[in-house]
Amino acid sequence: MVGVPRSNGCLRCVKRRVKCDQRLPGCARCETYGQPCPGYDKGFKFIIGKPYRDRRRPASDRKDVAPKSATSSSEIELDSACQDLIPREEPASLISPDVNVMQHLYVLIDDFSQPITPSPAHVVTRWFGFLPSIYGQNRVLDATIRSFTAHHFGRLAENSQMVSYARSAYGEALRGLRRSLETPAESLSTHVFCAVVLLCMYELFTDTDDPESWMKHAKGLSQLVKIRGPDRYSNALDYSLLKASRGLIVMHSMFSGEECFLASDEWHEKMRQQFTSDMPSDLHHSIELFFAYFTHAPSLAHKLYSLRHVDVTSTAALQTITQVLSKALEMQTKLAIWYEQFSQIAPPPLEILSSTGDELYPVILTYKDVNQATIYCAYYSYMVVIHEILKTCCQPGEHAAMVVYFRDQICKSVEYASVGIMGPYRMGFPLRVAFEIADPVTRSWILNRLGQFSKIYAAAQPENYKTIL
């Protein structure tokens, strides 16, 4: 049946389930969220009392999908609790919980894209954008999608039943994934690869009991990507998943002590390919060049760590110092050339006053968009590692001051780059690096920001941060 929404808030605040200040012509909350206010005209929405399944195609006609039973009570609860969060649709499209999952996916894609409009140029939303078209093709992936989607809307709506359902679907996905990984015909499929990526994202956002559990999934993800080999990433979805995975692979390598297999010419060549024309070719080339350099960051960090725990006057230590110093200086030169070129394509950040009146960082950095901010912050992180190595190796220069400078560049980027649901994910690695070399005051500031992030991004829980280097 048709009803009129009761909330007087703007469309975006209603969808996000937050209190709208109802300012005219647009509310202030939307400005804070980083988007123009869509206004207060609600139109009509369709309300259904009890969803039911439409007739599905026979299992024999659907590849990799087993027959499904009748609608479970959990699926009905998931659907009914989300009615205020999904786009308006024609009544006929609201008869199936599976259709409603796809409706929720479209909203999820929009939510995870903020504060910019969803586009193929946005790495995460690009592969999220494939999910509606492949939902219903693989049971493991379906359970993973339902789990991730239910958790997102359950958290927004503060609905414990939806969050509980998300955990149940997560368990179903893990059990199915184990079976698929043991089946040669399925283990290297695109569907299984997509499920592994999404499960790793789920861990980052949800596991408040063990926020380090994402490392286990990141290790499995790294192994799967490596086993599949570069040649398997030959279509837009596989390539998008590879792009979405590589940050997690580098992070895992950095903190696990394992070598980053992506630091090879064959992988660099694969990742230089461009499957979308939405990003200018010069910007794409510059970003890929940086990431090729970035894959070498874990090995440099590992050598820095080893120098912190050996007698630097020993013969073995002197050999290590010679090797790491040579590589650090080489990478410093390469990054200097890269930065000069990249800053001509993507304007460097501007300094403005903090809107929050931050005492430690009253002046913050703003960028053209969050995608470019992510690259700049990754660059700052890399420069912290390089200058920390040069300082440790007693290389002449103001390296201690440069470490502080790039650390502050990271912290001054937080207010701008951490907006939206993916904000804490974007800033997770740079803040982790800044935390390593921060003084007590700055470390306290970082922990405070991490505490705010952990409300939606479990991996940022401050009590689990400790220095490694």
Cβ within 8 Å of residue 376, ≥6 positions away: 346, 348, 349, 367, 409, 413
pLDDT of residue 86: 36
pLDDT, tens digit, 9 for 90 and up, residues 386-403: 999 999 888 999 999 999
Average pLDDT over residues 81-100: 39
Pick the more confident residue, 267 or 89: 267
pLDDT of residue 57: 39
The H-or-E segment that residue 352 falls in is: strand 350-353
pLDDT of residue 85: 35
Average pLDDT over residues 434-456: 92
Read off the pLDDT band of 225 (50, 70, 90): very high
pLDDT of residue 120: 52
Token pair listed for 132: 């509606």
pLDDT, tens digit, 9 for 90 and up, residues 251-302: 889 888 889 999 999 999 999 987 766 788 999 999 999 999 999 999 999 9
Chain-centre distance for alpha carbon 366: 20
Q: In this prediction, what percent of the chain has a pLDDT beyond 90? A: 43
Checking if the pLDDT of 428 tops 80, the result is: yes
Checking if the pLDDT of 30 tops 80, the result is: no
Read off the pLDDT band of 56 (50, 70, 90): very low
Checking if the pLDDT of 316 tops 60, the result is: yes
pLDDT of residue 384: 96
* Cα gap 348→50, rounded to integer Å: 53
Please state which of the ranges 77-81, 374-378, 410-414 shows the lowest mean pLDDT. 77-81
Read off the pLDDT band of 210 (50, 70, 90): low
Per-position DSSP letters for 288-301, written without gaps between them? HHHHHHHTTHHHHH
Whether the CB-CB separation of 419 and 115 falls below 8 Å is answered with yes
pLDDT of residue 81: 35
pLDDT of residue 212: 65
Three-state DSSP class for 368?
coil
**Euclidean distance between the first and final Cα of the chain, in Å?**
61
Average pLDDT over residues 67-80: 38
pLDDT, tens digit, 9 for 90 and up, residues 93-138: 333 445 578 788 888 888 888 776 655 555 677 788 889 889 999 9
Checking if the pLDDT of 52 tops 50, the result is: no
Cis peptide bond prior to 115, omega within 30° of 0: yes
Pick the more confident residue, 132 or 413: 413
pLDDT, tens digit, 9 for 90 and up, residues 360-388: 999 999 999 898 999 999 999 999 999 99
pLDDT of residue 1: 31
Q: In this prediction, what percent of the chain has a pLDDT beyond 70? A: 79
For 256, phi and psi rounded to 5 degrees?
-95, -20
Pick the more confident residue, 67 or 27: 27
Burial of 277 (C-beta count, 10 Å sphere; 0-12/13-18/19+): exposed
Provide Rg for the chain, Cα atoms.
24
Mean of per-residue pLDDT scores for the chain: 80
pLDDT of residue 467: 57
Read off the pLDDT band of 63 (50, 70, 90): very low
Token pair listed for 453: 């992030």
pLDDT of residue 114: 78
Neighbours of 225 (CB within 10 A): 24
Read off the pLDDT band of 235 (50, 70, 90): confident
pLDDT of residue 398: 96
Checking if the pLDDT of 142 tops 90, the result is: yes
Neighbours of 136 (CB within 10 A): 20
Please state which of the ranges 39-43, 345-349, 445-449 shows the lowest mean pLDDT. 39-43
Residue 351 pairs in a beta bridge with: 365
pLDDT of residue 20: 80
Pick the more confident residue, 464 or 66: 464
